[in-house]
């Protein structure tokens, strides 16, 4: 028998990850960052957390390429804080 609480948590972080991806696809980077950070903070060690970390690094790289170094560094700092 599957634990309902485990199923609910899996559904929740899967939903959050999809929401973050939807924001990202719409070019709403700040909203996507917030959702991805929530996944990393609330579901450490999950597959979704790893995907969210990767997405955050991709967004940071995008900001860096656009010359927005402060925004890129901010994401990296927030990611570091979320994982420690």
The domain spanning residue 64 has which CATH number?
1.25.40
- How confident is the model at residue 20, as a pLDDT? 95
Q: Say how many domains are in the chain.
A: 1
Range of the domain at 15: 4-83
Is the pLDDT confidence value at 5 over 50?
no
Residue 84 has pLDDT above 80, yes or no: yes
pLDDT for 10 equals: 65
Residue pointed to by tokens 């901010």: 74
83 pLDDT tier (thresholds 50, 70, 90): confident
- Angstrom CA distances, 19 to 3, 24, 37, stand at 24, 9, 12
Looking at beta carbons, which pairs linking 63-70 to residues 24 or more positions away fall under 8 Å? 63/29
Q: Residue ranges of the alpha helices (H) in 26-46?
A: 29-42
């Amino acid at each position: 028998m599957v634990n309902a609480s485990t199923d609910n948590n899996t559904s929740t972080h899967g939903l959050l990850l999809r929401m973050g991806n939807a924001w990202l696809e719409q070019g709403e980077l700040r909203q996507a960052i917030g959702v991805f950070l929530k996944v990393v903070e609330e579901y450490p060690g999950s597959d979704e957390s790893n995907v969210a970390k990767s997405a955050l690094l991709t967004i940071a790289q995008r900001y860096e390429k656009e010359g927005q170094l402060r925004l890129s560094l901010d994401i990296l700092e927030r990611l570091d804080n979320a994982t420690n």
